[in-house]
Amino acid sequence: MPALVERLHKLADGAETVSFAELNRTIGAQGHAPLLMVVSIFMILPIGMIPGIGGALGAIVALIGLQMLLGREGIGLPAVFGRRTLSAERLCRAADRIRPVADWLRKRLRPRWSALAEGRVSLSIMAILLMIAGGSLLVLGAIPVMTPLLGLPVAVFALGVLGRDGLVVAAGYVLLGLVILGGMWMKMSSG
């Protein structure tokens, strides 16, 4: 995680804006988890609630899930999403916000329950869930609270895979289940 923060700062250094394509080239080349972590952080922070950004971030999550399911490293980002940009200043602020958390997590994550963090079955299930959650944001992204709510379990999945910590991946499954149940409860109580 601390190395991820440094890569974000380097990417934004001297730039006015950073495109999703640049972000993908810089971070996505090192596997799915770092890129998934960055995208999920943007989903959770206020950046994800900017109109249109939530859907774009969801599409990227779905693409990452598809690439994971296909067993490919990195993602091929369609030009329409690659052209989307973020302010370099916002990128640096986001990186600065996560630095203390990254340092704290580095001390606590450790390899355990490897079948959940690295096993093909678990990664395939996670990939399908990422595709569904990300794809749903193309519609639900217009509801400001949905992007951060779905971003949280995505971040937990990314942390678990980054740290090869299956216990954290299990927490991501539980958290996603709670978000889905909460959404179903809200839907049933409103209609």
Residue 95 has pLDDT above 60, yes or no: yes
Instruction: Decide: 93 and 9 in contact? Cβ < 8 Å.
Output: no
DSSP 154-181: HHHHHHHHHTTBHHHHHHHHHHHHHHHH
- Tell me: the pLDDT tens digits for 24-37? 777 655 567 777 88
Q: What pLDDT score was predicted for residue 73?
A: 65
Q: What pLDDT score was predicted for residue 28?
A: 59
Instruction: Decide: 142 and 135 in contact? Cβ < 8 Å.
Output: no
Q: Which of 88-102, 119-133, 138-152 has the highest mean pLDDT?
A: 119-133
- Mean confidence (pLDDT) of the chain: 79
Q: What pLDDT score was predicted for residue 64?
A: 86
**Can you give the pTM of this predicted structure?**
0.68
Q: What pLDDT score was predicted for residue 48?
A: 66
| Confidence grade of residue 5 (pLDDT, cut at 50, 70, 90) | confident
What average pLDDT does the segment 98-115 reach? 79
Q: Which residues of 13-51 are buried (b: 16+ CB within 10 A; e: fewer)?
A: eeeeebbbbbbbebbbeeebbbbbbbbbbbbbbebbbee
| Confidence grade of residue 88 (pLDDT, cut at 50, 70, 90) | confident
- Lowest-confidence region among 66-75, 148-157, 160-169: 66-75
